[in-house]
Structures are given as structure tokens and as C-alpha cells.
Structure 1
Amino acid sequence: MPIAEDPEPRPARGDEPGGSDPSGTGAKDPFADLVLDDDFVRGAAVKEQSGRTRMLSARWKHTPPVDPGGRRSVNDGPAPKRRFGRKPKPPAVDAWGNAWGNPRPRGSRWRTPLLVALTVAVLLAALNIDGLRSWYTSHFGGSSAARTPVPTVAPETAKPTTAPPKADEQQPTVAHPWAGSPAEGWPNGAEAFVLPEAQATGVFTTAQVASQLQSVKDYLIAANLDPAVVAGGRPDAALALLERQDQDGAKAALEHPSKENDPTNWFSRFDPRDAIPVGDTVKVQGRMTYEGDGDKGVLIHTDFSFVYALRPGPEAAKRAGSPQPTTHAPQPTKPAAPQGGGTARPVGLVERTDDVAGDTWTTRTIVRRVDTFRFYDPGRYQVQPKKVVYAKSQTDPANSACDVYDGFFHPQFDQFAAVRQDTPGSRPTGPAIDPYDRSKDVEQTEGCGTISRN
């Protein structure tokens, strides 16, 4: 490090202490009596600069420093705002080639691609508003205001006095098949079948009455809730629970369906070519009671509404544009099917197809069945113990094609409404009926009725 040069030696006087003479002339050293104490340092008129300060001062004589502008003091106030898109100033470089300040604003590397992506997304959404709405609904279920939670409804213990309250009108989809339906809060499947407390009735003991109630429940499950049957399969389990004569009548209806002998009076089935169940959940509401038949037997009364969520099958659009032929077959000689309205067709092998996107529009078919089953006194009648015998039956399907008797229910989908309007054939002409109103009795009317809600 450079140091200050010593001053030229002063002439010695020869009387320096110890006879020292740095000049070599024999004179006295002028600093021999100098004492560098604190008072001397504080009283110095000139302060010695550091080596770096002297070096920078010498260099800046030729190259003055430039204010970089990148470093700010807390006393400088807020930094001036840049206008959007303005290019940053090039960084300042000092005399040693070091850059001062930030040469590029933060985020500049990703800001432009992000703005481009957002612009493209907004344009695509503007071109397909309906698709965006469907996507949002299927993934997030819509806003809390759009989807009002439906309260859970317990199984019935008595006949209701009013219809279920109106639900928010929404288009059901595969992701939300029960949206807009009062059945959304109904029990799932077999949970709705609450058996009444069994008591000894007629010639039957308490245990026998309990077994009969369970047999009716098992039949209703096999005939209306079995996923294979609902998807169009053969109802072998349900057939096995029927008494011999009713079993023969049901088999004859399956093999030779007709308006007078309709398999859907017995079983809930959908043709997989035009309607496919959405999952295995079926919403059910109703009740079961029993009493003596006046002949030492037992009558079990059931009144249940089954709500099926369905999506279009591979031929749904084509069938909406071409009415299906009505099947007319000779009436079998075996006992006729239970009286009621419905639809039917011979049974074949059924394979369920893969599921579809969650925003695909779906629909619902509501089937109300009011049945009475009888268990005869085995001491007076030749009957098969524990087998189910129909005494009376009424079937009221809602949202199923009219005048089609091929063994299946045929729901109608909103996405094919325009095609149906342009197609001649049977259309709903009767008064509108609320299929969820269980406070009223089932009414058998002529013609093709309409429904007030689905």
C-alpha cells in the first residue's frame, strides 16, 4: 500500500539525545523530541486518507463516476412508476465494468407468455359459453347460490298430505344426475324399505309375518333395483321369488310382450340402446303396511316411487327421430300380468357401455308402483310357502315413450327435443301430472299424459 513520503531531513544541531544523527552530518534529529500522544493526534490539522480513497480519487480524475440510479435511499421517496410495456433502461456500468441496478424488471420472462395464454383462453371461452358453463358445473357443481342443498327425507311412515316442494330448476348431468329433483334427498335404494313391526295375523305367527314382509322386500329389490335388471337384463332372481302362476305370467310377458301383457308392469328395465343408467343408485320413497285378508291370510300393501337417472344410449338420437314400432303379440293362456300402464320387449344379452363425460345431459324416469301381495292360508289353499303372490297392481311410469310395448321403459332426453317435435307419432296430450306427488292416488287415464317436472 502506498505511504506518504517522509519530509526532507532538517540540519542537525549536534545536540540530539544519544548523539543520533540520521542525516549523517552530525546534526540533531528534528523529530527526536516529538511525542505522538492523543492530544497531538486530535490537534492535527490534516487527516491522512486511506489507500483506497487515494486510489479512487486518482482514477476518477480521468473517468468520473456515473450515478447508476438502481440503489435508492429510504429518504428518496417512492420510486416512479413505469408505464405498461415500457422497456427498462440499460444498467449503468461503473469504471470497473460492474453493472449497477436491475437490468431487467422482475417477472419479464414469464409475463408475456402468461398474457398470451390468458388472451387465448378468454377468446375460446367467449366462443363456447355453453361448453364453459357445462365444464364448470361438472367440475365444481356451480355456485352455492345455483345449487341449493336438498334436505334429506326419511322413508314414509304414512301417506303424505302434499307434494314435495319445488326444487331449483337445473339441467341434470352425469356428474349431477339428481340436480333439480326433489328425489335428491330421498333414500337410496333398499334404504327406503322400512318393514313395519310384525305381529301374528290370521293363521300366521309373528315370525311368519316377518318372513313374508322380508319376501316382499326382496322381490321389490330384485324387480326394481337390481343393476343388471335395470340395465335391461333378465330378472331371474325376481322370477324365482314369485308363486308359480305369477311366475308363468311374468315369463310369458317377457317372451311375448304386448299392451295387454306388459313386462314393465312387473319389472323396471331400460333398453341400453337408448337409455343407460347413471351408476347403480336409484332414489326410492314409499311405505309398506299389512293386514289380514279376512280369510285367515295376510295382505301386504306397498306404495313406492322409483326414480332412475339415465344418460343417452348409442342409438338415442336416432330413436328420437323414428318412433319405435308397437309390438302386438297374442295374449298368453297363462294368468295375465298385473293391471297397469307401461312398456315391453323380448330379453336379450345386455352389455353396459363405458361411461361418458360428466357434463353429458341426463334425464330421469319416475315409476310409481302401488301393489298388494297376498299370502294365503296354506291349510285351505295349495300355495308355495314364502312365495310372493300378486293380489293387485298399479304401475304409473313418468317420462317414458307412449304406445311402445317392447319390454322396456323409453325415457326422453332434452337434447333431442327438437328432433321429436319434427317427428310424427304419439306425443303427450293429456293433463300435466306431478310424478313426485305421492299425496294422490294413482289414476289410470287414456292417452299419453305429460309431467309437470322431471
Structure 2
Amino acid sequence: MPIAEDPEPRPAEGREPGGSDPSEAGGKDPFAGLVLDEEFVRSAAVKEQSGRTRVLAARWKHTPPVDPGGRRSVNEGPAATKRRFGRRPKLQVVDPWGNPRPPKRRRLEWRTPLFIVLTIAVLLAALNVDGLRNWYADHYGESSGTAPSAATTPAPTVAPETAKPTAAPPSVDPKQPTVTRPWAGSPAETWPTGAAGIEIPAAQAVGVFDEDQVTAQLKLVKDFLVAANLDPQVIAGGKPDGALAMMDRAAQEKPSRALASPDAEHDPTSWFPRFDPREAIPVGDTVKVQGWMKFESDGDRGLLVHTDYTFVYAVRPGPEAEQRAAASPTARPSAPDAPSDGTAKPVSWTLSPADDVAGDTWTARTIVRRATDFRFYDPGKYRANPQKINISMTKSNFGNSSCDTTDGYFHPQFRQFARPHPEVTGPKVDPYDHSQELETGHGCHQTSRS
């Protein structure tokens, strides 16, 4: 087959026999001393393009590139967006070739789930507006269905009295008390609670008793008032063993006789507030108290302590409250047996649950004022223990309690079970007014407020 010939004759390499050496290399490689270093590469007149440049040049030869308008050079840095709503300007992220990158998905912040929970709460409240109103009224407002106002804000508690007041407590708007607000509509709402309302005066030496002895005797009087009038077990119908233990042996005879066999002449409520749990159940353990205590020398006898306190008890109807209110005084059931262990029986002993009584959310209050004189005899002249209670005189007045029953318990009247009371023939009195002398023997009176 034919062979293509070179366009020009090859120079003699000098290796032919008898030939010449035109290159004058003496038979050596002319590129043997060539060094392809960095300087040589940089001095080259023609440079080879990168592979990506050749690919893009071939692509753009047929389809020229279109400027999207947002492209920036890598050297120019990221572009800043406009500032909106006082926030920081966002920096636009681009790739190495100037193309904008899509924004990354932001992580879920803590505000997002909070907004979701608040939205759900608002929707639930909108679906149950009445329930929300009732909840607010029970905790912060008035009775259900009444819009809360600034008047429902609890007033600050007044200080205990140090002497007999000169006027009755100011009147307040009458409101129906409930289990959640048992002191609504009562001046006692701002009174001290429990033992905080019984303040001991500053002691000093009196007669044969020095200052420390007088201090101990005044504290004993306060402890007795607390045990006799504020003990939840006694109020719920239990036996006042704690108060009886503080009394001198001779002083225990009358109250013990009254507790064992109560009658018109021996009424244990003259010393101890007790409610029949079948008829009235205390609302919690809170009792409002206001009054004063003072002491003086009793001459040769020793020390005389005067007390005048008003106790306000909130109760709700028991399981038999409705039928007892409808029954006549002569048909009233006999009193329950007093617990022998000195504690009140639990509610479960009643015939039916208290919640079954209609209108049991309405409550009532019984107001008891007691004026009592305590005497501590001189042990050098009398056979009496100066560390025990001796009652020289006691007078009591009750507001909102039946006058025709002497079974050893208070019998409050509940508004939801109201009935006529023909036995109430006495004058109308204010049970919260302890600015006047406590008088008894005016018959069965009616109260002006409760």
C-alpha cells in the first residue's frame, strides 16, 4: 500500500554511514538540557485553558449566558438586603461563582410553640366563656354571672382592738356568702383570722404576782380562748378536752355538767361553740376574731383579766339541714352523741353526702360575742391553782342561731331553707356591734345583719 511521505526530507541524524550532522549536536538530544521549571511555564507565550473554561466556552458558543440581575462577583462580597421593621439587614449568600444560594430553613425558635399554646388557650376560652367567667368569679370576683370590679379586691386586714370600740363596724354591701367566699358581705371579712385576733397586752406586776407570772397568766387566758372557741374539732361538735384541761377542777363542774346533759339552764354553747354536723358543717378552719383583753388588780383576791371577743363562724348546710329547717321545734331530732374521744366525727358518718343537699354552695354565718372575766387567786389566801383557769363571769350573745333548741349546739338558719320564725320576738340587734355592754335576757332577738 502507498506510504505518505513527509512534506520535507528529514535531516540527517548523523548516524548514517558517511553522513553529515546538520544540527551540529554531535549526535546528542537537543532537548536534553531543557528544564520545565516555573519560570519556563510563566514565560510561555501560549497557556492552556482549564477544563471548566473550555466546557463553559463550548456551552456558551451556542447558548450565551443570561444575567439574572442579582449576580455579584465573588470579590464584591455578599449583598445586603434592605432593612425592614427595624430589624438587622440580611446578608445574601452567594456561591463561589456569584450565584445566590437559597436561604437555609430557620430552626424552630421557642416563641413559635409559645404562640401555638396561647392560640389554643384563646380558642378554648372562647368556646367556654361562661366557664371562664365562673372560674374568675370564684377566685377573684363576685358570684357567678357578675362582672368582676375593683370593689371585689380584698381589703387589708385590720389590727386587733386594744380597748372597747366607740362605734359599730361600718356597713358593707350585703352579698350572699358562698363556700368560696364565706365572708362576703360581712364586716368580719377584714378582721384578723384565728389566734391572730387575740392580742395579749403588755404585762406588769400586779399584787402578789410579778411581771413574769402575769405574762404567763395572760398567755394562759389566750390559750384557753383559742382551745375553747377556735379548735376545729370543738366547732365540728367534738368534746373540748383541751379547754377543760386548762380549767381549775372546781371551774370544770358547770361546763362538764352542761356537756353531759344540756338543757335551758345548762347550755354548753355558753362556753364552747359547737355545730351539729348533720345540720351545719364548718367551711374550712378559718374563724374571724375581733376584740380586746385587759387586766387589773383584784385586791386581796389576786389578778382579774377582762376579755370581750366576737367570733364569726362560716358554715354550710349538712345532709339534714333542709328537713330540720322544715321541722317544727318539737319535732327536731335529738342531738347526736358527743364523741367520747374528744374529736369531731368525720363527715362520712352522716346519713347522706353533704353535696347532695340542694344549694349547698350557699353558706351562712353565726356570730358569737363572749364577755368573760378570768380570776387568778392569790395561792397564799385561796385554795386555787394560779396556773389554771377560773372563770369569774361569762356572758354570751349569739347571732343566727335558733333560740328554741338547747341541745348543746348552734342551729344556724340558711337562706335557701328559710322558714318563718314566730319565736323571734325580741328587738333587732347588730351582732357585730361590740361597742355597747353585752346584755342578755331580752328574749329571742333578730339580727340586723349576718
* TM-score, normalisation: structure 1: 0.64
The alpha-carbon deviation at position 166 of structure 1 amounts to 1.1
* Closer, same or farther: CA 245–440 of 1 in aligned 2, 3 Å: same
Report what 1:350 is aligned to: 345
Q: 1:282 aligns with which of 287, 296, 302?
A: 287
* SS of structure 2 residue aligned to 1:440: coil
- The residue number in structure 1 matching 2:96 is none
Offset at residue 263 of structure 1 (A): 0.4
- 8 Å CA contact 1:152–1:186 kept in 2: the answer is yes
Structure 2 gap segments, 5+ residues each: 1-62, 66-122, 143-147
Instruction: Say which is worse superposed, 132-141 or 179-188, in terms of deviation.
Output: 132-141
Q: Do structure 1's residue 207 and structure 2's residue 202 form an aligned pair?
A: no
Instruction: Name the % identity.
Output: 57
User: Aligned AA for 1:141?
Assistant: G
Amino acid across the alignment from 1:347: A
Q: Residue 152 of structure 2 aligns to a residue in which SS? A: coil
Match of 1:291 in 2: 296
Please report how far the alpha carbon of residue 276 of structure 1 lies from its aligned counterpart in structure 2 after TM superposition.
0.5
Distance 1:414 1:264 in 2: 23
Name the CA shift for 1:426/1:390 in 2 (closer, same or farther; >3 Å).
farther
User: Structure 1 residues 326 and 416 mapped into 2: Cα distance closer, same or farther (>3 Å)?
Assistant: closer
1:147 CA displacement: 2.2
Secondary structure of the equivalent of 1:304? strand
| Gaps in structure 1 of 5+ consecutive residues | 1-47, 51-113, 126-130, 328-343
Matched residue type, 1:440: Q
Are 2:133 and 1:137 equivalent residues in the alignment? no
Contact 2:295 2:304 in 1 (8 A): yes
1: CA distance, partners of 2:336 / 2:383: 32
Task: Tell me the CA shift for residue 146 of structure 1.
Answer: 5.2
**Structure 2 equivalent of residue 244 of structure 1:** 249
Distance 1:134 1:368, change over 3 A: farther
Distance, in Å, in 2 between the alignment partners of 1:223 and 1:195 is 17
For residue 151 of structure 1, report the CA deviation from its aligned partner: 3.5
1:320-347 CA distances to partner (integer Å, 9 max, x unpaired)?
00134499xxxxxxxxxxxxxxxx8752
SS at match of 1:281: strand
Q: In structure 2, what is the equivalent of residue 452 of structure 1?
A: 448
Matched, 1:439 2:420: no
Q: Which residue does 1:390 correspond to in 2?
A: 391
Computing the radius of gyration from Cα coordinates, the structure with the larger value is: 2
User: Contact between 1:254 and 1:345, CA under 8 Å: does it hold in 2?
Assistant: no
CA 1:345–1:218: 2 relative to 1, 3 Å:
farther
Name 1:226's counterpart in structure 2: 231
For residue 430 of structure 1, the aligned residue among 402, 426, 432 is 426
Residue number in structure 2 paired with 1:319: 324
> Structure 1 pair 399/133, CA: closer, same or farther in 2 (3 Å)?
farther
* Number of the residue aligned with 1:87: none
**Secondary structure, aligned partner of 1:141:** coil
What is the one-letter code of the residue matched to 1:429? T
Match in the other structure for 1:268? 273
- Determine the C-alpha separation between the residues in 2 that align with 1:139 and 1:286: 29
Query: Partner residue of 1:409?
Result: 410
Deviation at 1:439, TM superposition (A): 1.0
Aligned pair in 2 of structure 1 residues 300, 275: CA closer, same or farther (>3 Å)?
A: same
Pick the aligned partner of 1:187 from 182, 188, 192.
Answer: 192
CA contact (8 A) 1:138 1:359 kept: no
> For residues 447 and 132 of structure 1, what CA distance do their matches in structure 2 show?
48
Question: For residues 274 and 227 of structure 1, do their structure 2 counterparts lie closer, same or farther at Cα, with a shift above 3 Å needed?
Answer: same
User: CA deviation digits over 1:207-238, x for unaligned, max 9?
Assistant: 11111111111110000000100111010000
Contact 2:248 2:384 in 1 (8 A): yes
**Separation in 2, partners of 1:262, 1:360:** 30
Cα distance change of structure 1 residues 326 and 347 upon mapping to structure 2, 3 Å threshold: farther
Equivalent position SS for 2:374: strand
1:177 is the counterpart of 2:182 = yes
Q: Which residue number in structure 2 is paired with residue 30 of structure 1?
A: none
- 1:359 and 1:271, CA in 2 relative to 1: closer, same or farther beyond 3 A? closer
TM-score, normalised with respect to structure 2: 0.64
Superposed, 1:77-226 pairs within 5 Å as 137-142=137-142, 143-145=148-150, 147=152, 149-226=154-231
Change (3 A) 1:325 1:255: farther
Give 1:134 deviation, angstroms: 6.7
* Cα distance change of structure 1 residues 345 and 379 upon mapping to structure 2, 3 Å threshold: farther
Letter in 2 for 1:301: H
Which SS does the other structure have where 1:279 is aligned? strand
Q: Which residue is 1:360 aligned to?
A: 361
Secondary structure of the 1:157 match is: coil
* CA RMSD after TM alignment: 3.1
Alpha-carbon separation, structure 1, partners of 2:391 and 2:291:
18
Is residue 431–residue 450 contact of structure 1 (8 Å, CA) maintained in 2?
yes
Alpha-carbon distance in structure 2 between the residues aligned to 1:217 and 1:324: 36
Q: How many residues align?
A: 316
